[in-house]
Amino acid sequence: MKRDGDMMLSTPKIKSSGIIVEYDGKRALHGIDLDIYPNEVTALIGPSGCGKSTFLRCINRMNDVIDNCKVSGRLMIDDTDVYDPEIDVVELRARVGMVFQKPNPFPKSIYDNVAYGPRIHGLTENKDDMDRIVKKSLKRAGLWDEVSERLDDKALGLSGGQQQRLCIARAIAVNPDILLMDEPCSALDPIATSIIEELINELRERFTIVIVTHSMQQAARVSQKTGYFHLGNIIEYGETNDIFTRPQNEQTEAYISGRIG
Amino acid sequence: MVEKKHIVTAFDEDLTTLNDMMARMGALAETQLFASTEALIARNPSDLDDIIKRDKELDDLEAVLNEKVIEIIALRAPRAVDLRRVIVALKVASTLERIGDLAKNIAKRNKVILDTTLKTQTLPSIRTMTSMVLKMLNQALDAYIDVDALTALNVMEADIEVDKLNTVVFQSLIEEMSYDPGQLKIGPHLLFVAKNIERIGDHITAIAEQIYFLHHGEMPDQDRPKADRSSSIALS
Following DSSP, what letter does each residue of A173-226 receive, concatenated? TT--SEEEEESTTTTS-HHHHHHHHHHHHHHTTTSEEEEE-S-HHHHHHH-SEE
Amino acid at A256: I
Q: How far apart are CA A197 and CA A154, in angstroms?
A: 25
CA angle (B12 as vertex; B7, B16 as ends), nearest 5: 170
Which among A142, A168, A140, A138 is positioned nearest to A153, based on CA atoms?
A: A138
| 3-state DSSP assignment of residue A32 | strand
B218 to A245: CB separation less than 8 angstroms, yes or no: no
pLDDT band at A98 (very low <50, low <70, confident <90, very high): very high
Q: How far apart are CA A45 and CA A31, in angstroms?
A: 17
pLDDT value, residue B108: 94
A257 to B8: CB separation less than 8 angstroms, yes or no: no
- Shortest CA gap A242–chain B (Å): 9
What backbone phi and psi angles, to 5 degrees, belong to A51? 105, 5
Q: How far apart are CA B134 and CA A104, in angstroms?
A: 66
With beta carbons under 8 A apart, name residues in chain B contacting A256: 79-80
- Shortest CA gap B15–chain A (Å): 13
Q: How far apart are CA B34 and CA B111, in angstroms?
A: 15
Least confident piece of the model among A39-43, A192-196, B3-7, B35-39? B3-7
pLDDT value, residue A10: 81
| 3-state DSSP assignment of residue B204 | helix
| Kind of pairing between the strands at A233-239 and A208-212 | unpaired
Listed by number, the residues of chain A in 99-118 with a beta carbon closer than 8 Å to a beta carbon of chain B are none
Determine contact: A261 vs chain B, CB below 8 A: yes
Q: How far apart are CA A29 and CA A70, in angstroms?
A: 11
- pLDDT (average), residues A67-86: 95
Is B15:B83 a contact under the CB 8 Å cutoff?
A: no
Q: Highest-confidence range of A188-192, B186-190, B222-226, by mean pLDDT?
A: B186-190
Least confident piece of the model among A107-111, B6-10, B105-109? B6-10
pLDDT value, residue B221: 76
pLDDT exceeds cutoff 90 at B68: yes
B80 to A253: CB separation less than 8 angstroms, yes or no: yes
- Shortest CA gap B93–chain A (Å): 21
pLDDT band at A7 (very low <50, low <70, confident <90, very high): low
Bigger pLDDT: B183 or A20?
A20
pLDDT exceeds cutoff 90 at A6: no
pLDDT band at A119 (very low <50, low <70, confident <90, very high): very high
| 3-state DSSP assignment of residue A106 | coil
- Shortest CA gap A79–chain B (Å): 37
A244 to B84: CB separation less than 8 angstroms, yes or no: no
A256 to B8: CB separation less than 8 angstroms, yes or no: no
B8 to A216: CB separation less than 8 angstroms, yes or no: no
pLDDT value, residue A64: 86
Map out the domains of chain A as residue ranges: 5-256
| Composition of chain A by helix, strand, coil, percent to 5 | 40, 25, 35
Q: How many CB pairs under 8 A join A and B?
A: 41
Alpha helices in A27-126 (DSSP H): 52-59, 89-95, 110-120
Q: What domains does chain B contain, in order, with CATH numbers? A: 9-227 (1.20.58.220)
Distant-in-sequence contacts of B185-189, Cβ < 8 A, 24+ apart: B185/B116, B186/B112, B186/B113, B186/B116, B186/B118, B186/B120, B187/B120, B189/B109, B189/B110, B189/B112, B189/B113
DSSP letter for B138, please.
H
Is B156:B140 a contact under the CB 8 Å cutoff?
A: no
pLDDT exceeds cutoff 90 at B224: no
Output b/e per residue, A31-62; b: 16+ Cβ within 10 A.
bbebbbbeebbbbbbbeeebbbbbbbbbbbbb
Residues in chain A: 261
CA angle (A198 as vertex; A196, A199 as ends), nearest 5: 60
pLDDT band at A2 (very low <50, low <70, confident <90, very high): very low
Nearest to A247 among B6, B80, B216 (CB): B80
pLDDT value, residue A166: 96
Residues 6+ apart with CB under 8 A from B18: B65, B68, B69, B72, B85, B86, B89
Alpha helices in chain B (DSSP H): 9-42, 45-76, 80-114, 123-146, 149-179, 187-216
pLDDT value, residue B41: 85
pLDDT band at A71 (very low <50, low <70, confident <90, very high): very high
Nearest to B4 among A244, A246, A259 (CB): A259
CA angle (A24 as vertex; A18, A30 as ends), nearest 5: 20
A259 to B6: CB separation less than 8 angstroms, yes or no: yes
Assigned fold of A5-256? Rossmann fold (3.40.50)
Burial label for A2, CB within 10 Å (0-12, 13-18, 19+), is middle
CA distances from A3 to A35, A73, B216 (A): 11, 22, 17
Q: In which element (H, E) is residue B116 found?
A: none
Alpha carbon of residue A195 to chain centroid: 17
Query: Angle, to 10 degrees, between the axis of helix A160-172 and the axis of helix A127-140?
Result: 130
Alpha carbon of residue B51 to chain centroid: 15
Is A143:A85 a contact under the CB 8 Å cutoff?
A: no
Is A203:A140 a contact under the CB 8 Å cutoff?
A: yes
pLDDT band at B90 (very low <50, low <70, confident <90, very high): very high
Mean model confidence pLDDT for chain B:
92
CA angle (A261 as vertex; A259, B3 as ends), nearest 5: 15
Best residue of B6, B79, B213 to probe chain A, by most A CBs closer than 10 Å: B79
Which among B19, B10, B31 is positioned nearest to B214, based on CA atoms?
A: B19
